[in-house]
Amino acid sequence: METIADAPNKEVKGSSPPDKKLTVVFVLGGPGSGKGTQCANIVQHFGYTHLSAGDLLRAEQNSGSENGAMIKNMIKDGQIVPSEVTIKLLQRAMEESGNDKFLIDGFPRNEENRAAFESVTGIEPDFVLFFDCPEEEMEKRVLNRNQGRDDDNIVSIRKRFKVYINSSLPVIEYYNSKGKVRKIDASKPVEEVFEAVKEVFTSLDEKVRQHRDIFGRCIRRKKFRNGATKCSWMRCILPS
Ligand code: UDP
Ligand code: MG
């Protein structure tokens, strides 16, 4: 069976028209920075499918999978589950969704996650939505959220912060050096944070509108001597 891995940056099986490029946004930030909450809002307003890597791992753990015990122990200890496991879950969820716009929340968490996802799927994110929040505030939120998670206790949370700083922040820095990070001040109340989030997604929509003719094709592509066409907008995803 053909999977996303076999068809990088092409259609996902299901309702997408052929050759439609996938839009992928990585949603990153520390534990308790508000990724899940804001992703739910983005889904409502902008039609993305939300894939939380942590939720997919917890579902896999509860499904009686052979990896269940390993996932449970690693999550409790704040460690990063092997890329292979997480990437398979993400790929499956993308294929099953039938959508072509994804928010991938809480992944990639380290450099190895990032490189493995890129080489296995051939997908690079359009941009990274980064929720920046002071540790003190994140700790308060996690300890108050009562979602019955066995990693939302003070011992696990301290370990998760360490992993976040040592392993996950370098991934954000990597994308920052490529100009792909959209940073949001996540310390504010939910509604205010969403106003800032909306800006990021709306301006993307606007940009697409400015570049698109009535058939959905890019009208800003320039032709080069070798016959290739390229749009000056780095993130242009429209067909020519
Ligand atoms: N996790 C992982 N790989 C991922 C995402 C999550 O190993 O790509 C594990 C890791 O142990 C992490 C836990 O799942 O600490 C909880 O992640 P989640 O994103 O649900 O929590 P958050 O950090 O957003 O509170
Ligand atoms: Mg989460």
Give, in order, the Cα–Cα distances in Å from 132 to each of 80, 226, 230, 240. 20, 44, 34, 36
State the pLDDT at residue 234: 66
pLDDT at res. 228: 84
Query: pLDDT value at position 233?
Result: 75
CA angle 182, 186, 188 (to 5 degrees): 135
* Nearest protein CA to atom 13 of ligand 1, as residue: 75
For residues 184 and 193, the answer to whether their CB atoms sit within 8 Å is yes
Tell me the CA–centroid distance for residue 154 and ligand 1, in Å: 16
Helix (H, G, I), strand (E, B) or coil at 24: strand
Query: Which residues surround the ion ligand 2 when the cut-off is CB under 5 Å?
Result: 36
CB 3 within 8 A of CB 122: no
The ligand that comes nearest to the alpha carbon of residue 151 is 1
Q: Does the bond joining 108 to the residue before it have cis omega, within 30 degrees of 0?
A: yes
Q: What pLDDT is attached to residue 7?
A: 45
Q: Quick one: which atom of ligand 1 is closest to the CA of 113?
A: 8
Domains of the chain: 18-186 (3.40.50.300), 214-240 (no CATH)
Distance 132 CA to ligand 2 centre (A): 14
pLDDT at 231: 83
DSSP state of 218: B
Q: Which of 72, 151, 158, 171 best tests ligand 1's pocket when mutated (most atoms within 8 Å of CB)?
A: 151
Of all ligands present, the nearest one to the C-alpha of 33 is 1
The DSSP 8-state label assigned to residue 9 in this structure reads T
From the CA of 109, give the closest atom in ligand 1.
8
Q: Is 42 helix (H, G, I), strand (E, B) or coil?
A: helix
Per-residue burial over 62-88, b if 16 or more Cβ lie within 10 Å, else e, is eeeeebeeebbebbeebebbebebbbb
Task: Give the tokens for residue 208.
Answer: 């697409």
For residue 62, report the distance from its CA to the centre of ligand 1, in Å: 15
Q: Which pTM value belongs to this model? A: 0.81
Ligand 2 centroid – CA 31 distance (Å): 7
| pLDDT the model gives residue 139 | 97
Closest residue by CA, ligand 1 atom 16: 54
Mean pLDDT by runs of 10 across the 240 residues of the chain is: 46 48 96 98 96 98 96 98 98 97 98 98 97 98 94 97 98 97 97 95 79 87 86 76
Which letter, b or e, does each residue of 27-54 get, where b requires 16 or more Cβ atoms within 10 Å of its Cβ? Answer: bbbbbbbbbbebbebbeeebebbbbbbb
CA 122 to ligand 1 centroid distance, Å: 23
Atom 14 in ligand 1: residue holding the nearest Cα = 54
Give the model's pLDDT for residue 230.
85
Output the ligand 1 site: residues, CB below 6 A: 31-32, 35, 52-54, 57, 74-75, 78-81, 86, 106-107, 109, 151, 160
